[in-house]
Structure 1
Amino acid sequence: MLLPLRMLLLCVHFVLASILGLLVSVCRPFNPDNSRIAARFYAVPATFIMGMKMRLDIDGVLKHKRPAVIVANHLSNYDLFVFGHAVPPRTVTLGKTSLKWIPFFGQLYWLAGNVLIERGNAVQAKKAMMTTTDTLQHKDMTIWVFAEGTRGHGKGLAPLKKGAFQMAINAGVPIIPLCGNNYVRGMNLNRLRGGTVVMRALEPIPTAGLTLDDMPELMATCQARMKACIDELDREAGTTAPQA
């Protein structure tokens, strides 16, 4: 009986949090701190509704001196509620242009100053890349990217795509890996305790002085560190993959 009740509460909460965040953003459109405030509106009540136990070691993200590119693993549609706890001040994200058509949420996402990209449009993608480089270099802001490009659904860390690393190298700012355990493996919203989330920010990886020729090694370094960390978090949370 808990599952349908929780899903109903989450739907109502999503609408209310979107409206509240939209009201804040309308009063201060494109303010660089809108995303952090809206993320908390979504995350704090939602993890309580879901009964998720949160263990967060994320000071490396929350207290890092901007700017930077945050690279996080992407697990499920619940990531908005889970990773919303970790969005630092003056942070924007990259998202698909289709997001703007979601009632309330899409308008909030746009007014919060996030960067909308039309996938498959090379001209628009190049323009967005120039915008993000300017944001990182001159506007004292951080950019958050789910660099796998798609949700993993508990299958483990997929290969990271190059966009986040290209942005970081072009702007000369560090990469901050942010890792969450594969919480969806053990999540059961039909139980009182819905699951466990363990999240950890890793040491920043500097990019100053690097060129695009260094990008493959940078990506490999980030991938290896994140995979090792996620495996460790899964062991701590008891969400390791079942043996074949």
Structure 2
Amino acid sequence: MLALIRIIALICYFILVNAALLLVCLVRPFHRDNVYVAGKLYSSISVILGLKLEVRVPESVKQGGPFVYIANHQNSYDLVTICKAAQKGTVTVGKKSLKWIPIFGQAYWLTGNIMIDRKNSGRARGTLQVTVDKIKEKGLSVWFFPEGTRSY
């Protein structure tokens, strides 16, 4: 019974979180801290799942970047766990197809994340060059999930 209540609460809260995030992103599209806000909103879902998350941020990171973060994206739970570690001024590099997921995809795009076309290696390399330029020009930190396609 508790599982059923959590599932219903999770679905309702997930819709609410995405609506709030979409509103934030419409007010300030592509803002450098939108990913940070999204991370805080998505990680708040962990309470419904009964998870306690702890993030330890090194002093060197607190003093400012830009940085290149590398993380291993394993499953859908990462949306509510690893997102809590997002720092201000950080964007992710994600596959272009994510933007077609209703509501989540539009929020992902509006947060200012960098979309990469993994099916076209020439465009993917061009996107990586754009990423390097953003790091240099805007002082953005970038978060990569290099493991590629997730497996079961």
Q: CA deviation at 1:151?
A: 3.6
Structure 2: 5+ residue stretches without partners:
none
Distance 1:97 1:43 in 2: 23
Tell me the amino acid that sits aligned with residue 55 of structure 1. E
Aligned to 2:144, the other structure's residue is in SS state strand
Give 1 or 2: higher strand fraction.
1
Q: CA deviation at 1:95?
A: 1.1
The size of the alignment, in residue pairs, is: 152
Q: Which has the higher contact order (CA 8 A, sep 6+)?
A: 2
Tell me the amino acid that sits aligned with residue 5 of structure 2. L
User: Structure 1 residues 61, 81: CA separation in 2 closer, same or farther (over 3 Å shift)?
Assistant: farther
Alignment of 1:105 with 2:77, yes or no, is no
Tell me the amino acid that sits aligned with residue 49 of structure 1. I
Tell me the amino acid that sits aligned with residue 29 of structure 2. P
Tell me which residue corresponds to 1:19.
19
User: Structure 1 residues 61, 53: CA separation in 2 closer, same or farther (over 3 Å shift)?
Assistant: farther
Q: CA RMSD in A?
A: 1.8
Structure 1: 5+ residue stretches without partners:
154-244
Moved more, 74-83 or 54-63: 54-63
Distance 2:117 2:148 in 1: 13
Distance 1:24 1:62 in 2: 25
> Which of the two has higher C-alpha Rg?
1
Q: CA deviation at 1:152?
A: 6.3
User: Structure 1 residues 80, 61: CA separation in 2 closer, same or farther (over 3 Å shift)?
Assistant: farther
Tell me which residue corresponds to 1:37.
37
Tell me the amino acid that sits aligned with residue 139 of structure 1. K
Q: CA deviation at 1:56?
A: 2.7
Tell me which residue corresponds to 1:161.
none
Distance 2:131 2:13 in 1: 31
User: Structure 1 residues 118, 145: CA separation in 2 closer, same or farther (over 3 Å shift)?
Assistant: same
TM-score calculated relative to the size of structure 2: 0.91
Q: Which of structure 1's runs of 4+ aligned residues deviate more than 6 A?
A: none
Q: CA deviation at 1:130?
A: 1.1
Tell me which residue corresponds to 2:138.
139
Aligned to 1:55, the other structure's residue is in SS state coil
User: Structure 1 residues 62, 82: CA separation in 2 closer, same or farther (over 3 Å shift)?
Assistant: farther
Output one character per residue of 1:179-212: Cα deviation in whole Å (capped at 9) or x when no partner.
xxxxxxxxxxxxxxxxxxxxxxxxxxxxxxxxxx
Distance 1:60 1:12 in 2: 37
Q: CA deviation at 1:2?
A: 2.4
User: Structure 1 residues 106, 148: CA separation in 2 closer, same or farther (over 3 Å shift)?
Assistant: same
TM-score calculated relative to the size of structure 1: 0.58
Q: CA deviation at 1:59?
A: 3.6
Is the 8 Å Cα contact of residues 25 and 34 (structure 1) preserved in structure 2? yes
| Identity level (%) | 40
User: Structure 1 residues 50, 16: CA separation in 2 closer, same or farther (over 3 Å shift)?
Assistant: same
Tell me which residue corresponds to 1:115.
114
Matches within 5 A, 1:83-232: 83-151=82-150
Q: CA deviation at 1:73?
A: 1.8
Is the 8 Å Cα contact of residues 70 and 144 (structure 1) preserved in structure 2? yes
Distance 1:90 1:70 in 2: 12
Tell me which residue corresponds to 1:49.
48
